[in-house]
Amino acid sequence: MNQKNPRRNRQTFGGFFLLILVGVFLLFVFRFSYIVISGQVNNENLSQKASALYQNSTVLRAKRGTIYDASGTAIAEDSTTYSLYAILDKNHVGTNGKKLYVTDKAKTARVLSHYLPLSRQNILKRLNPKNPNTFQVEFGAAGKGLSLSIKQAIDKANLKGIYFNETPARLYPNGIFASHQVGLAQLQNHDEKTSAEAQNLTGIMGLEKTFNSSLRGVNGSKKIKKDSYGYQLPNTKAKEKAAKNGNNLYLTLDTRLQTYLETLMSNAQTKYQPKQLNAVLMNPKTGQILAASQRPTFNPQTGSGLGNFWRDTLVADAYEPGSVMKVFTLAAAIDAGKYQPNTTYASGQIRVGGTTIHDWNKTGWGTIPFSEAFARSSNVGFVHIQQLMGQAKWLHYIKKFKFMQKTNSMLPGEVSGSLQYQHASDQAITAFGQGINVNTMQMMQGFSAIANNGKEMKPQIVAKMTDPNTGKTTNYQPRSVGKPISQDTAEQVRQAMEDVVYKKYGTGRVYAIPGYKIAAKTGTAEISHANGGGYLAGRNNYIFSVVGMAPADDPKYVLYITMKQPQNMTKEASVILSEIFNPLMKRALDYEQSNATTTTQAQMPNVTGKTVSDATAALKQKQLTPIQIGTGNTVVQQMPVKNEVVLDHQRVLLLTNGGMTMPDVTGWSKSDILKLAELTGKNITTKGTGYATKQSLPAKSLLNSAKSITVTLSKPK
């Protein structure tokens, strides 16, 4: 039938086709109307897209606030580092045909070898990759973290195809310097929409974390209208919102004492290898922390050691303090009127609640007066003293000294501690520092009451904060948190602490310092099994400690040191701790009297970019020992870094351009070996203890010639 009516078929097809055209037209009208009304296509704003073509917005990055020590010297400040890369693609040209890729590889390699710790041959190899279609190449760790001076020197050479990425960074010029307390600020992961210039540093540890919102500041912006070439349109004004820089923080740390403490701590860590080592020096009149350190630690400038230990053990670790707790037990008994110094007791052991408690000298000293119990550190004597007080009265004083409460010293991650006090045996062992868990800052707070005639001071590490935008200063004043004991009680306790040092039966005679009167108390605390089943056995499985106050009659300083499980315990624990306690306390006391000290300190000069001969001369003039690492004649990196505090005859590692070479490390300490590994990025391990006597890679050999290097350490004979 269709064949009989071709005209009708044409009419039907034409009508159907017309309907399709009308439908498409209506769909177009509807779509166009929707775009006009909504201003969006595929969920993208057309107005914003059009505006972006003619408007340029630049982030004005806020400067993160600087952290200063007590004297106003910067210990953490904003910086910028640069990463180097090379464009190799020959299609990468400008609009005017200008070549934007590397054109002279030989010259590029020669120039870069003067500023990077890479040989010319190594750089040439990177500039000639196996894949001919490689768009760009980087230079690994050697091309990252470059300083502004190195970037400017490379820029002056006008090398085609060489570019830099700019990265905000944090400069810690002192290296290891109260690292866990000062903290760390780093770039955090950002989504792909966040531009590089909009990224800000974030505090992830220590005071950098506590005060992050105050330190980081607020970014600003600058907006201009531009033409198709990116230039600002005539007769238009830029809209600018100024950045608000972060606040500056001033700490109570004394750089001279802090740096000396770090040196002493590193020496002890190298020689005796404790699992943990803590030390805090405080002014008990104000509660201000003058120096604080821990081991393990890390170098915030290089990142070395950061992955091993993140906790600030001064506040984040709770531990049983051992016999230094007897300072508070004695103070409580005297203050409560329950101390009977002339009454005698049988030392050696005592039975409490079905548990036998021994003195550290298990046979005891026979029948002795309570007046000798403190200096001899008699556990049995202090059980008797606690029983004379009664469990309620002793608990009352534990709370008055603020144990089981956070000190809120502004260091993040603080724990409250705990107390096991249900049974008579639990109550008894708290008298000598077992069954009670504290943190180091709680102990420092309690010690301040003994040193400060009964007035207990909150530990303070931040002195003030200033706002550079308004000039406003926020001062953090010393704060008393109570008066748990009387002045007379505090004086009696300090007298007992003098007996520890100066009586022939005292346990702390090694802590005597000629010319000064020292009050001290020693401690040896057992360490609980991880599963809670009793205590660890073994000569070194203890937390050894000492607290000292000086001058004893009116203390200006309190120094508290704890050492956990020294793995190379070649000396008595008290002798090991005295190697930190005595020199640091003496230096603090000498400093108080404005006397010269035997070891001078100076700031590390900036020798990066200088010739080796000029750098060597400058370092020797500062009484420092330069060590060249590399075949070149220009210093490209140094350790310690600029402005770090250094001591006389300290080794300074100078990384030069050209191939890296192995120095003669004979006589180096383990810490020096670790610095060499940090600076070169090579796998260098140590074997044994003491000082370097043998190295698997001979001196002056290229470091790239060995995958790993072993240095053998031996103790001096």
Task: Report the distance separating Cα 121 and Cα 141, nearest Å.
Answer: 17
Radius of gyration, alpha carbons of the chain: 34
Task: Report the distance separating Cα 296 and Cα 311, nearest Å.
Answer: 10
**323 flagged as catalytic:** yes
Say if CB 603 and CB 596 are below 8 A apart. no
Among residues 442, 436, 483, 556, the alpha carbon closest in space to that of 335 is found at: 483
Among residues 282, 673, 270, the alpha carbon closest in space to that of 458 is found at: 282
Report the amino acid identity of residue 178: A
Say if CB 562 and CB 291 are below 8 A apart. no
Q: Which residues, other chains included, contact 549 with Cβ-Cβ below 8 Å and sequence gap of 6+?
A: 284, 447, 450, 451, 494, 497, 518, 519, 520, 555, 557, 558, 559
Catalytic residue among 113, 293, 323, 378: 323
Number of C-alpha atoms within 13 angstroms, CB side, residue 151? 16
Strands 462-466 and 519-526, bridge-based pairing: unpaired
| Order of strands, sheet of 635-639, starting from the edge strand that comes earlier in the sequence | 625-629, 651-656, 635-639
Task: Report the distance separating Cα 622 and Cα 649, nearest Å.
Answer: 9
With vertex at residue 406, the alpha carbon angle to CA 404 and CA 409, rounded to the nearest 5 degrees, is 150
Q: Where do the H-state alpha helices sit in 593-705? A: 612-621, 670-680
Say if CB 676 and CB 156 are below 8 A apart. no
Residue 559 corresponds to which tokens in the numbers above? Answer: 């120094």
Would you list the DSSP string of 530-557?
TTSSSB--STT-EEEEEEEEESTTS-SE
Among residues 67, 513, 70, the alpha carbon closest in space to that of 257 is found at: 70
Strands 248-251 and 67-68, bridge-based pairing: parallel
Task: Report the distance separating Cα 344 and Cα 36, nearest Å.
Answer: 100
| 431 φ, ψ (degrees, to nearest 5) | -65, -25
Task: Report the distance separating Cα 456 and Cα 445, nearest Å.
Answer: 6
Task: Report the distance separating Cα 164 and Cα 83, nearest Å.
Answer: 5
Q: In whole angstroms, how far apart are CA 696 and each of 326, 402, 659, 691, 705? A: 51, 54, 19, 15, 12
With vertex at residue 279, the alpha carbon angle to CA 275 and CA 281, rounded to the nearest 5 degrees, is 180
* Three-class DSSP category at 624: coil
The whole-angstrom distance between residue 5's C-alpha and the CA centroid of its chain comes to 94
Strands 519-526 and 473-475, bridge-based pairing: unpaired
Instruction: Write out the catalytic residue numbers.
Output: 323
